Amino acid sequence: MTMPHERTRAVLQTRDFLIKLSRDTSISEKIRHDAKFLLRHFPLKSDLEQAGLLEEQPERFGNLIGPIFSSSTEI
């Protein structure tokens, strides 16, 4: 089972990977363009931290679901 901090880390690592792809001139323009397109709406680290902080407050949202993201990438 994937834990919230692992999911958060994976999303951040995916963002870093897309940034690298978007800047890598050794790959095709199409792939660079696609990576830039995906990054337009990809969450920033601050977005994930904010989502994690909100989700870690069950008193505000009840216990309907557990946190999806974490405010940290560490255990």
Q: For 14-68, how does the pLDDT look when each residue is reduced to its tens digit (9 = 90+)?
A: 999 999 999 999 999 999 999 999 999 999 989 888 888 887 877 776 666 666 7
- Confirm if 11 and 59 have CB atoms less than 8 A apart: no
In Å, what is the CA distance from 15 to each residue of 3, 39, 55, 57, 59?
19, 7, 21, 26, 31
- Locate 71 and state its tokens: 């405010």
pLDDT at site 66: 66
Has residue 13 got a pLDDT over 70?
yes
Query: Can you give the pTM of this predicted structure?
Result: 0.76
